[in-house]
Amino acid sequence: MEKVIYDKSNGLWYELQGDYYIPCLKLPDEEQVEVGVWGMRHLEYIKHHRKGFYTSLLIGCELNRYLADVNKQAEEMFFQLVKQIAEREGVTEKFKADNQMEWVGRMNNIRNRSIEMVNSELIHI
| pLDDT tens profile 90-102 | 999 999 999 999 9
pLDDT beyond 80 at 86: yes
Same domain membership, residue 108 and residue 62: yes
pLDDT at 89: 95
Question: How many domains is the chain partitioned into structurally?
Answer: 2
Domain that holds residue 22: 1-30
pLDDT beyond 70 at 28: no
> Burial, 59: exposed, middle or buried (Cβ in 10 Å; 0-12, 13-18, 19+)?
exposed
Q: What Rg, from alpha-carbon coordinates, does the chain have? A: 24
Same domain membership, residue 25 and residue 39: no
Same domain membership, residue 7 and residue 41: no
- In whole angstroms, give the CA distance from residue 41 to residue 19: 44
Same domain membership, residue 3 and residue 21: yes
Same domain membership, residue 67 and residue 110: yes
pLDDT beyond 90 at 114: yes
Same domain membership, residue 42 and residue 20: no
In the beta sheet, which residues pair with residue 7? Answer: 12
